[in-house]
Every structure is written in structure tokens, then in C-alpha cells.
Structure 1
């Protein structure tokens, strides 16, 4: 079925850098390289290939693995934990960091322990950076929490774990610690040494997100300060340096060295890398146009070393241009393969969904909880339209299939069909309401459409032929979705199947069209 997805009337109204003709053109690397919700990105070079990952928080699969030959074009090749979380961990899968030595790749990461509930830094390892990874469990979990682990050799070649004590969670300072790792890189040995803490005004309640590099005899410690996330964030990036890994550390008087501008807000938590003698920080920031609705996106920002041997960014802010060609992120999924692609996600609070692809359809096993089974994709714009066509005639009794904008399993807006009806579901803080419902004449397939403007206002409609749309009435005509994004994540657009555990919903397609 051909689906016409023209946007209703709104409710309210990457390029190469140029060089002088007498010199060769110089590629501009300042750009968005991980568009969408990819916070706390990490990058490392192994052989001739760059590898990157990012926070996934409460979404599976956990920790994407990207590869690139040039830092600009990235391919998603897998996940560190593709099917389920490690047995010891429950949530808060943050801040992965690669470390590679002696032919083995280690991933240091943050997660919350099932026992005691504290945040811990843990490690997994693999024979190849693409995996498969074996988890080795937590390395450190202080009472206030331990997060943002980064492995760094000292001046003698001994490897240390550097991490943040999460004191801001209990109104305390946030020391950055370092402690030596054992030869297997799976446990800490010796005593921990405090490197520095948040003691400068701009840093606010915290310093975190350590990333270290050695240059010209100095250790440079890039770190983030202040509030990371959400509408009121004021995150920025600072740097300190020392001749010795364990200090003393000197913070740059010009901190923060990377701060907001009119295009990008709250830049921070990145990792340093190098290409052809040029230096870069892969970090996250919110696009001003879409902010918390899309989430923190992965930016590459180039820096240079000044005469005083400090890193400098142009205008002390990200120079990446705003994304303008949003059509490159459109989705037209016809389920032609034999499995869902690596881009699909699901809440880790539930088991990995039973989702099979065959004969041009997605068969999604239902669940009885709230929205039911959820499989979603990251959004790239705050204004978009999405649609799906469901096999309406073969939908089991008391099973609902549909399309949803999902902040998390407790906060969503959904248009679903089932029992001869279409319904709008409003889920906020776990409380679910049916805001509208209409009976539909029997038909083989039914197409559901979601439209959103600015991440805030939603309209829903359905079609029996993919061209003629019937809107669903609500008291205010449009629904407010401002509440959807959690404090640390962007909104996903998702397919849902709600019903008895032994029932299945079938989807013929999944389409997303973006606008600026």
C-alpha cells in the first residue's frame, strides 16, 4: 500500500569548509557525526579504524558499536550487550569508554547494581572491538555512586582507572579518583588517589566525564561541569593538566573551554582523538531547535594547541553547523529482510521483544503491561510525521497494535487499533487514560498516523486506504507532549503491541518523515 504522509498545516508557524583559491581545500570536521540521542560518546583508534560508542541509558540494545575510517562517516556494526543487560546490573547504562591493548579491547562503563542499588564502574572485554564482549562485572561502587570510568596509563606505563564519585547525588562534592588496574584489567589494586573535585564556580555541583590524553609531556584531563541534561542544562567542558597522572593537577584559567552558542547547547562529556595531526573532541550537545525532544547528539569539534600548551576551540563553542537536510534521516521500513535492523531499540525494563520479520511483515509478540511490547527508533527532529500499516483483519481479540511517541514505558502518547476501534492512549507517570476512541468499519489493513510539531503538540489520524485520513478528535484538538522526554533521554517513535502474552500483532511498514 502506498501511503501519503503530507503534513497537516502546522499549529504554529553539512558542508565542506571553503578555502582561498590559492590553497587546497581543508576538510571541515566540525559537524554532527552521531545524529540523534547518543550522549557521552567515546572514540578510539585501533589500527586504521576508529570505533565509537555512547550511552544507551534505559534502552536496549546496550552500548552501540560504530566503526569509521575517517571520523565523519560511521556505521553501526553491533552492540556491547546485544540481547540483555549483565546479570549484576539493572539500569543506568552510561558512559562507555574503549581501551585497547595487547590485541584486546576493553569497555569500561557505568551501570546500577541490583544489589545495594549503587552506581558502579564495570568492565567488559573482547578479542575484537566489534565483539562479542564478555562482562567482568563491577570494579568500584562507592556509597554515593561511581560513574564515568576511563582507563589511562601513567608516565610509567601502569594502567589506571579514572572515575567520578557521584557526590552530587547526595549534595556533596564530586571527587575525580584514580586507582591502578590489575594486569588482567578486571580489578583495582592499591589505593585510590583523588585528582581534583568541583571547586570552581562554573563547575556548579559537579565535575565528571573524564577523558585523558598525553601531549608533549603533559597529561590533559578534559572534563564536564555543571548540569548535563534537560531544558535547564548548563553543561560545559573544562580541561586540567599535570606532568604526572596522579597530579598535582592545574585547571585552565580560561575554563570552560567549550560552551554553548546559538546552535548547540550544553556541550560536554567527550573523548579526544587525532587524525592526520589534527585534534578533535567527540562530545555531545543539544541542538537548540530540538533540544530535549531529540536528545544529546554526537558532535566532532576540532581544537588546536596554543602557545601556552593549552587546547583551544574556535569561539570556545561547537562549530558544527545545524542539521538542515532532515530528509536524510527519513525512515521507510518495509520489513523486507529477515530480522529487525540494529537501529531498533526496546526498554531494558522488559525482556528483548519477540520480533520476527517474514513475508514483508513484522510479527511483534504482545505484552499485557501498559503500552505493551515496544520497539522504537531514535528521533532526529522535533517536527515529524510517522505512520504504520497494521494487519487489522487478523488482529486477535483484545490485542491492540499501534504507533507511539515514547519517552519511557511510563510516559507516552499512542494511537492504537483493536477490537474494531482506534484509540488515543495518554500515559503519564505510569497512569494511562484513553482520550478518544472511534469505531472503524471492518477492513484488511489500517494505517495509523502521528504528527508532532516542535516536540510538543501531537495530532493523530487513521486511514483505510493510505490516502484519505480521518482525524481523531480530542478536546483541545492537539495534545501536549512536553512531558514525554525523561531528564536524560530523547523521545523515540515506536511500534507497540498490547495484549495477552500469546498474541501477536503484524505490521506492514514503518515510515517517518522529518521536518526542521
Structure 2
């Protein structure tokens, strides 16, 4: 599942696999992907494509997709307005939606995350979740509590199943997924540091003969760890195809790391003679996968609406229109402006777009192409006020990197290009002749270091922005993103 798809969850309905993943502070919230072969995934929509749940504002994490009877449920984490992280739930009549939010189920003082449904030996439904103690330097208990069949409220008292107690787990255990096999319940879980270049994540397992325990952690934990190709595997869902067992989880490609983000990976495991799971490849993520095909993207804006893969900051949804082969974006004055972005899937890629009528943009308005981290961290090449400007926004502070006067030959249209190398080295250029010849911005570095761009839990997006008064609108014609597949970094790859 190439691209930034952390904490992935999977289920099968009929002959179709459905998956979703963390969207964090990018909207639309929670992608819905489907596949019949576990290799080719189509993005078919989102759990919350338009309005956010009324109780939540950001940090949309760890959706768990589950088919129960004729209903599809999404157990998810979000930040509660005026509070902390909470576990909520949404329901639909089909996996594709539309989904109706049922509200938050649990919101502890230190935060509640990573909800997972499981039925006990008496077929009673439970919610499993993590208390987010590590956010306040406390342990991280895994809790279980009865959930009513309407999926609207918890019942009775919660019971602790286990917590972080052994060295490899570091300051947390989280992301529990459970399966029942023979006489045991198995809890697959993640431990240690999830994110960033210095991550330490791995996967462990515990088992119990009763859902409420006592739980026994496997003495050979962690059972899935990093290798040269993939780093920090963790937080996923177990599933089987006949007698073969798998886990869809996330991991960082060691070439692109946090710049692409945590990508969806499937690892196979078998069961030992004494009933414990054992991952293949000596307990590491597979180094060889299905043939890698670059996941490129092209939008000529010929549809009546945006393609579903476009994303925006979840709290700053832009006003856009698509018509006659053009994308119209209304400006925003704050942060990076009005933002649209696309997943990147490799460390090396090229994005291009054409900005129409840059010479007619209203005063105080700029528009162009950008590498987006979040609203306060951006690299952009924009046109406006008669010039082209290359600039960066880092922690909300803007810095000019170079500029050039907009030539009269480009006042009707200017092509803009962004090129990334190794995930964090960026080059920007522009063209006044439709992309036949390209030139850089005088005074700007040949390569710009964008290592500061991605937040701790997200990858970089490539896209467009329009910054200025909310009365201004900019028009774009075609956006193209070409990803170059390069194998993982090795000692001989300099």
C-alpha cells in the first residue's frame, strides 16, 4: 500500500478486501481502499469525506474496519474538542459507506486510542483500547470493556489486560489486534517508538485462554522487527486466507523513511508447534515484494469534482471548484494558504502544474506548487505581484529563498515544477513555454533541504497552494506527479 498509510486495518467481505488507515491531520478523513488480490488497491472514498464528526477536531488515527452482521463499523481515534484523544465509532450499511458517526465511546484523562472490537468466549462484545499514558510519562495499559450491541455505549467496568513491562516495549504498548485460534486469544501489539528516523517500533504477541486474561507475553518477543529494506514495523490487523496467515501493518521504506511516511506492508507468519505466531524471513518484514510499479498521478481536472486522492489540512479545508479542465482554488490568508496535496510514494519524484493568468492575480495573492508538511511547514514556488518567488515556511516563519521578475511571456500561463531526491532534497523550476525549457530561480540554492517538512506522524505531500485574501481565486491546469522507484538504500548505494 504505497504512500502514507499508517496503522492500516483490513477485512474481507465476499471476494473483496477492504482497508483503511490513519489520515491524522489530512482530510478527507480515513481512506477507504479495496482490492481483490491484496496487491492492487483502489481508493474508493473516505469514512468522513465532507463533514468531520461533531465532537472531534483533529488527530484522526487508527481506524479499525469490522464487518458485524450486515453492518460495517469503523472504530477510530480522534482528538475531542476541548479534551484529549478518544475512541469513537461510525457505522454504515456497506463498507463503501456512507458512514454515520455514533460518537465517542471512551475518553480518559490521559487519552484513549487504538480501539479494536472482540467477542469473548460467551460471545459478548468488548472494546479493546490503549490508555495513552506515554503522552504524560506514564505506563500504557491495554483495557477491555463490554460494548452494547448497538455499539453506542460501554457497559460495566473496564479490565486491564496487560501493559508495557519488558525492555523491548520501551515506554508503550499499543495498536492491539486480536484473533481467536483454537484454545487461545492472541493479541498482536506494537511496542516502543513508532515514528521518525530514529523509530524503534516492533511487533509482539500475547495470549490468553479467556479474553479478560490472564495474558501471557511471548518470551521470543518482538516477533517482527526491522531489516535493511523496511524499518519499524507495527500496528496492523491479522487476517488469514485459508491456512495461510498474514498481518497488514505499516513500516518505513529505509530509503524514503518519514518523507513518504509509514506504508502498508503485508507480512506472512506461521504457527509454531506450541501455538505461537512466527513471522517468516527470520522475524523481519519481507525484503522482496510484488513487482514494484511507480504509482503516478495525473489530473487534467475533467471531472465535475476533485479526484478522491486529493488531500487538505483537516482543519483548513479549501474552497475549490473543478470545471472545463481547470482547478479553481480560493485563497486563504493564514499559514500556507489554501492547500491541496497528493501522497508521495517514493523518495524521488517530480510534480508539475500550470498556473493560469499569474499576471492577473489580485494584489497580495500568490499561487503555485509546493511540498507540504503541514500548514506551518512548506516549501513553495509561487507567482504573484509580477514575480516568481521561492520560499519556505518553517514552524510558521516565512523565509524568501529567491525571486525573479515574471516575464511578459508567462503572464497568461506559467508551468511550475518540483523535483525531490532522497525524500528531502528539493529543486524548483519554472517554464514560460509550456515545459519545453525550464529554469531555476536566481539566488536560490540548487538543492533545498526539506528535512524539516514532515510532522512526526505524517509524510510529505506534493501539491498546490493559493495564499492571499479570501476574495482571490487562482486557476490551475493539469497536475502531474511522477514517482521514480529506487531500491532501498544499502552501503553500496551512495
Shift of 1:324: 7.4
Q: 1:46 and 1:234 mapped to 2: Cα distance?
A: 34
Work out whether residues 299 and 320 of structure 1, in 8 Å CA contact, stay in contact via their aligned partners in 2: no
Are 1:275 and 2:241 matched, yes or no?
Answer: yes
Matching of residues 377-416 of structure 1 within 5 Å: 377-392=342-357, 393-416=359-382
Tell me which residue corresponds to 1:23.
none
Tell me which residue corresponds to 2:490.
none
Tell me which residue corresponds to 1:500.
469
Q: 1:472 and 1:151 mapped to 2: Cα distance?
A: 54
Q: 1:458 and 1:48 mapped to 2: Cα distance?
A: 42
Select between 472-481 and 400-409 the one with higher mean Cα deviation: 472-481
Q: Cα deviations across residues 294-325 of structure 1 (Å, max 9, x unaligned)?
A: 00000011111111111111110111526874
Q: 2:97 and 2:52 mapped to 1: Cα distance?
A: 15
Shift of 1:77: 1.2
Secondary structure, counterpart of 2:329 in structure 1: strand
Secondary structure, counterpart of 1:470 in structure 2: coil
Tell me which residue corresponds to 1:96.
63
Q: 1:220 and 1:473 mapped to 2: Cα distance?
A: 60
Tell me which residue corresponds to 1:134.
100
Select between 98-107 and 489-498 the one with higher mean Cα deviation: 98-107
Q: 1:479 and 1:76 mapped to 2: Cα distance?
A: 32
Are 1:339 and 2:308 matched, yes or no?
Answer: no
From 443, 459, 480, give the equivalent of 1:474.
443
Select between 352-361 and 219-228 the one with higher mean Cα deviation: 352-361
Tell me which residue corresponds to 1:17.
none
Q: 2:449 and 2:442 mapped to 1: Cα distance?
A: 14
Shift of 1:394: 4.3
Tell me which residue corresponds to 1:250.
216
Are 1:513 and 2:482 matched, yes or no?
Answer: yes
Q: Cα deviations across residues 412-438 of structure 1 (Å, max 9, x unaligned)?
A: 100001121100121000111222111
Tell me which residue corresponds to 2:335.
370
Q: 2:228 and 2:290 mapped to 1: Cα distance?
A: 13
Secondary structure, counterpart of 1:202 in structure 2: helix
Work out whether residues 39 and 290 of structure 2, in 8 Å CA contact, stay in contact via their aligned partners in 1: no
Select between 256-265 and 418-427 the one with higher mean Cα deviation: 418-427
Q: TM-score, normalised by structure 2?
A: 0.95
From 398, 414, 424, give the equivalent of 1:446.
414
Matched pairs, number: 480
Tell me which residue corresponds to 2:257.
291
Structure 2 gap ranges (5+)? 487-494
Q: Cα deviations across residues 166-213 of structure 1 (Å, max 9, x unaligned)?
A: 110111110000000012111100010000000011000000000000
Select between 201-210 and 364-373 the one with higher mean Cα deviation: 364-373
From 28, 36, 39, give the equivalent of 2:6.
39
Structure 1 gap ranges (5+)? 1-33
What is the alpha-carbon root mean square deviation over aligned residues? 1.4
Tell me which residue corresponds to 2:43.
76
Tell me which residue corresponds to 1:30.
none
Select between 193-202 and 275-284 the one with higher mean Cα deviation: 275-284
Q: Cα deviations across residues 61-84 of structure 1 (Å, max 9, x unaligned)?
A: 000111222322222111110013
Shift of 1:221: 0.4
Q: TM-score, normalised by structure 1?
A: 0.91
From 407, 425, 433, give the equivalent of 1:457.
425
Work out whether residues 287 and 322 of structure 1, in 8 Å CA contact, stay in contact via their aligned partners in 2: no
Q: 2:466 and 2:419 mapped to 1: Cα distance?
A: 20
Shift of 1:451: 1.7
